[in-house]
Amino acid sequence: MIKFLILFTVVPLLELWLLLEVGRVIGTLPTVFLVAATGFFGVLLMKSQGAITLRRIGNELDSGAIPADSLFDGLLILLGGAFLLTPGLVTDLLGFLFIIPFTRKVVKKIAKKVLQKMIAGGYVHIRRW
């Protein structure tokens, strides 16, 4: 519960502080344009990467393979899109990290290690059918 409290108070305060500082340096209108532009280009990138990933999932299913890695990519793209829809520069940066293919590979590698540690530590229980 404390993690959510921190998440929902510290992140918005950090975003607000950063937007105010950027606005002070480059001006209000350029800052608003910057946030709008990152959101716009992020949505375009999310759409293209999402379509590529959906095609890859379909191809893997057609060939009889389980698309686990591609589904993980799809999850990261979805989370990246959610970050991009949240106004702010920090969340936009996180969104782009989750959507751009090169950085998504790095994020995916880290996320898999964290998930494996959580499973090994008993924080996540996997039910078998």
Q: pLDDT tens for residues 23-82?
A: 999 999 999 999 999 989 998 999 999 999 999 999 999 999 999 999 999 999 999 999
The domains of the chain are located at 18-26+37-120
Q: pLDDT tens for residues 78-108?
A: 999 999 888 889 999 999 999 999 999 999 9
What CA dihedral angle connects 81, 83, 85 and 87, to 10 degrees?
Answer: -160
**pTM for this model (two decimals):** 0.83
**Residue 125 gets which letter from DSSP?**
-
User: Alpha helix (H) ranges present in the chain?
Assistant: 2-26, 28-62, 68-85, 89-99, 101-120
